[in-house]
Chains A and B, each alone.
Chain A
Amino acid sequence: MESKPTYHRGSRDGKAPFKGDPLDGIKPYYDLIVIGSGLAGMTAANVLGRAGFSVLLTEQHYNFGGMATWFKRKGGHIFDISLHGFPFGMKKTCRKYWSQAIADRIVPLESITFKNPQFELETSFTKEDFTHHLVQTFGQKRSKVEDFYQALRAMNFFDDSGETTGELFERFFPGRNDVHRLLMEPISYANGSSLADPAISYGIVFSNFMNKGVYTYSGGTDHFIGQCKRELKKSGVELRNRVQVARILVQGGRAHGIEAIDSQGQRHTIEAGCVLSNANLKTTIERLVGPQHFRPDYLEGFSKVRLNNSSTQVYMGLRAGEELPFTTDLQFTSTRERFDSPSLCDKHGESRTFSYYYPKTRPGSDRYTIVSSMNANWADWTGLSDAEYEADKQRLIEDTLCCLERSHPGIRSKLDHIEAATPRTFEFYTQHAQGSSFGTKFEGLAYSMNLSEEIEGLYHAGSVGIIMSGWLGAANYGVITANKVDAFLHSLVNSPA
């Protein structure tokens, strides 16, 4: 009998058949199974593998890395999804939980620019330079700016005043919409937060960035993830891609393994001392575990947790041999007269970022790509017919090109590849509920952190609660959760069964 081939997501068109069995040779038991290889899942797996535990890391896509990812296209193009722009702290995190060699490749972006009807400026995003702009360009008193930084630093996670970010800005820089734009726009693109989100979440993230500048990884995302995989293997972690986890096994309030699907659609049970989900928090609770395993009041509270927004991106590749003079690494651009948060998610909005990837991104390469990003709402991209969807994607591409041409006249003739990703694309490749790019809003953090109190041996790490978002937030959250897993696994060893 001819067996029906099973296809996996994440191939070029999502339709490439499996080759080989992704679960071949898997052991029946691991101390820890990590579901999902985003930066949180990978970092936790590496820390706990190094600590001597047997760890299985599963990923549904064929690439490891989650949203820290890239893709290749004909013509020699490599597009990075989220490479530009993490805080300096990433260097230390990589040194401690990955390797010195990875940390050494973390380099500062040279130039970040803003271009909008209110102001045009260039900054290195270091504290000195940013302060200089607030004082010189925006005419703010230095003491006021210092007080603002001090207020941000003093914010305590356990002592949330309930103030929103918008209220915080109004308190320090009343009526200065231009200053609010300067302060908010970069962070909104970094983690999906808005003026309506708690000031505490802004304070933590802004203080991380507004320190020593904004950084990237020299070598590209593919090199970074390749190095991470090498480290994971050295740490003894079993890496399996193209594995679709159907559910997390729970019995008597205790997580004890996973059920995964192999290339023939057969279900396999793999037992574990504990399970760490790096899937989206909603997906973890509602789909992988199932509501029947949770207390009603936890579920009721959790139902109010909001997902963060999704994104659109436009990927533009310059033809081999074409060049682009250096202008800036990262540009925040808008044609809107004034700043407000909801309009950053407008479907055909006027605000977007451009990440410029010059040959320096991959030393030795001579290629250029430009990736434009916008924040986006899932609801704007669902319920469309195929023809409407294609037309809307084309309009997104056209809008982006028109915007880019204002800075780079004639850029169209240099491009030989252009394509767009929408919330539907993100949902398809990451399986995040509603294509969420930044996990959940702030209130999701408590549900993520307290998961093991609901179900023994079950942990979550990943983009959640705004502050645990982005490359650095996710990696560090992986370590925070790894510490809890480590304590749990030690307690298993030390207590007789």
Chain B
Amino acid sequence: MTSEEIITAIKDIIATIAPDEELVGLDTAVPLRDQIELDSMDFLDIVMELRKRYGVQVPEAEYGELNTLDGCARYLAPKLEGKELKLVNA
């Protein structure tokens, strides 16, 4: 997956978890929690969805890497290499 695809993948997961949040125009460099209402349980859900959809394991100590969309793209790039984007809310 490219960086852009990873960001699309994360946004699609967030759309499932927080359907009321506006995800268009999110700043990829700013922490997600500063832009939309995501609590620590929502982050757990993101981790579980990543595991379910892509078989990706994110150790607890590394949850912080997912704070921003850019961080997600950077951290997940090697883990999602060669995997196909799966959209639920397309």
Contacts and interface: CB of A to CB of B under 8 A. Distances in A.
Given A96-B17, A487-B57, A490-B57, A479 B52 contact: no
B47 A483 contact: yes
Given A51-B52, A96-B17, A490-B51, A483 B57 contact: no
Contact of B55 (A476, A479, A494): A494
Contacts of A494: 55
A104 to B, nearest CB: 14
Contacts of B44: 479-480, 483
Contacts of A483: 44, 47-48
Interface string A449-462: 00000000000000
A51 B51 CA distance: 10
B61 to A, nearest CB: 12
B41 A479 contact: yes
B84 interface: no
A52 B52 CA distance: 9
B55 A93 contact: no
B33 to A, nearest CB: 13
A178 interface: no
A491 interface: yes
A487 B47 CA distance: 10
A482 B41 CA distance: 12
Nearest to A487: B57
A486 B51 contact: yes
A92 B39 CA distance: 11
A47 B47 CA distance: 13
Interface string A85-113: 00000001100100000000000000000
A487 B51 contact: yes
A483 B45 CA distance: 8
Interface in A465-492: 476, 479-480, 482-483, 486-487, 490-491
B57 A476 contact: no
Interface residues of B, number: 10
Contacts of B48: 47, 51, 482-483, 486
B55 A490 contact: yes
Interface string B46-77: 01100110010100000000000000000000
A254 B44 CA distance: 25
A472 to B, nearest CB: 10
A491 B44 CA distance: 17
Nearest to B47: A483
Contacts of B52: 51-52, 486
Given A96-B17, A487-B57, A490-B57, A476 B41 contact: yes
Nearest to A100: B19
A491 B58 CA distance: 12
A491 B57 contact: yes
Interface in B1-32: 17
A490 B59 CA distance: 13
A487 B57 CA distance: 7
Contact of B45 (A96, A487, A490): A96
Nearest to B57: A487
Interface string A157-192: 000000000000000000000000000000000000
B79 to A, nearest CB: 13
Nearest to A51: B52
Interface of A: 47, 51-52, 92-93, 96, 476, 479-480, 482-483, 486-487, 490-491, 494
Given A96-B45, A487-B51, 12 more contacts: A47-B48, A51-B48, A51-B52, A476-B41, A479-B41, A480-B41, A483-B47, A483-B48, A486-B52, A487-B57, A490-B57, A494-B55
Closest 6 CB pairs of A and B: A483-B44, A483-B48, A490-B51, A486-B48, A476-B41, A51-B52
28 contacts: A47-B48, A51-B48, A51-B52, A52-B52, A92-B41, A93-B41, A96-B17, A96-B41, A96-B45, A476-B41, A479-B41, A479-B44, A479-B45, A480-B41, A480-B44, A482-B48, A483-B47, A483-B48, A486-B48, A486-B51, A486-B52, A487-B51, A487-B57, A490-B51, A490-B55, A490-B57, A491-B57, A494-B55
